[in-house]
Amino acid sequence: MKPQRRQGPDLGAWISDERLGQVLNQFKNKKISVLGDVGIDRYTQGTVERISPEAPVPIVLVQSENLKLGLAANVADNVHALSGRADVCGIIGQDEDARDLVKMLKHQGVKTTNLVVDKKRRTILKERIVAETQQMLRVDFETVAPIAKETHARIKRKALVSARFGDAVIIEDYAKGMFSEELIEAVVQVAKKRKVPVLVDPHVKTPVEWYQNVTLLTPNKKEAEALCGFRILNSQDLKKAGDWIIKKTKAQSLVITLGKDGMAVFLGEGRPPFTIPTYAQEVYDVSGAGDTVISVLAMGLASGANLIESAFIANLAAGVEVSKRGTATVSISEIFEAYHRWA
C-alpha cells in the first residue's frame, strides 16, 4: 500500500528525479574528513519476565549483544554507506573497546590513521539495554577528566592532517573536551584555503562563538533554542533564532532540524528560511538521525549540489534512518526508493 503523502510541495519542486540521480552518482569516492569524539554503541537485547527479588527492577534475560559504531564513528560509517571515503579523527584509549572500534572502522573502509591513542583514557562505550522494543537503561563508559595538553596537541596535528584529506570537513562536537576554539579556527582556515566546506554539528555546552566562519551549522530545534537562549514556538521565533545564530557565528548557512516538521534551511542572516517537510513513512527510532543528516549534507555539498538540494536529500535520508532500530546508516538506493515512494 502506498503511504499517504505529507502535505507540502511536490518533490520535483525541490529536486527532479534526473538531478537527484546526478547528485547521488557524484557521491562515489567523495572524501569526507570527520572530526569528533568516537565510540561504540552496544545494544544488549533481551526479554523481561520477572522482577528482581533484590530490588524492584526488571530482570533482562539477555538474548543477543550487538556492537555498532557510535558518535563521530557513526558519521564516518554513514559516509561509507553513501559510497564515500571517510577519514575519522578522534581520541581512543588503549583497551579492548578501542581494538573493537578500530576493527569495525577498518571493516567499513574508514581511514583510522588520524585516531589518537591516550592510554590514560578509556574508549567511549554507550550500552543500551533493550527488552523487546523498549529501552530499559543506558550505561555510559567514558573518562570525564579533562584531556591532557599533550593529547590536545596531538589531536590538533591529526585534525589538520585530516582536514587536508577531505572534499568536505565535518566537526561533530559532543563537548567531551576534544575541541578548542583554537583547533576549530585552525581547521576552518585549512578548509578555506582548500575551498572545501566545513559543517558543524554543534553542542550547547560549547560557546557558540567557537564556530566562527564555518560553512554550515546543523543544530536540532532543542539545540538551537539552547544556543540562542529562547524557545522556538512559531515561524517568527524560528527566523529570529536562525538570524541570531548566523550573526553570532558568521556562518554562511544554517540548517535547523525540526523532527516531524522537517527542517529549516537558512541561506544567510535576514533571509527567510526554506522549510522542507518531513518525508518519513514510519518513525521507529530517532537516534542517529542527525548523523545521517550531516553526512548527506557534506556529501551533497562535496558533490556540487547547492544547499537546498543537499538538505532535501538529507531530509529524505533521515526519513529512512528513523524507520530503523538504533543508530543506522542509509544507502544511495534507499534514498532513491524514498524519493520514488513519495513522488
Residue 54 and residue 22: Cα distance in Å, rounded?
61
Binning the chain into helix, strand and coil, the percentages to the nearest 5 are 40, 25, 35
Across 122-136, 179-193, 253-267, 279-293, which has the greatest mean pLDDT?
179-193
> What average pLDDT does the segment 267-276 reach?
87
Mean local confidence (pLDDT), 72-80:
96
DSSP 53: S
Sheet holding 134-141, edge to edge: 58-71, 38-51, 124-131, 134-141
How far apart are alpha carbons 14 and 114 in whole angstroms?
37
Q: Which residues are catalytic?
A: 291
- Would strands 263-266 and 274-276 be described as parallel, antiparallel, or unpaired? antiparallel
Residue 106 in grid coordinates: 577498518
What pLDDT shows up at residue 3?
34
- pLDDT surpasses 80 at 139: yes
In the structure, what pLDDT confidence band is assigned to residue 23 with cuts at 50, 70 and 90?
very high
Are the C-beta atoms of residues 147 and 91 closer than 8 Å to each other?
yes
Is the separation of the CB atoms in 97 and 91 below 8 Å? no
pLDDT in tens, 289-341: 889 999 999 999 999 999 999 999 999 998 888 877 767 788 999 999 888 88
Q: Which CATH architecture has domain 13-37+71-116+146-342?
A: 3-Layer(aba) Sandwich (3.40)
In this predicted structure, the answer to whether residue 170 has a pLDDT above a threshold of 50 is yes
> In the sheet where 263-266 sits, what is the strand order?
85-89, 31-36, 168-172, 198-201, 216-217, 253-257, 263-266, 274-276
What pTM value is reported for the model?
Answer: 0.92
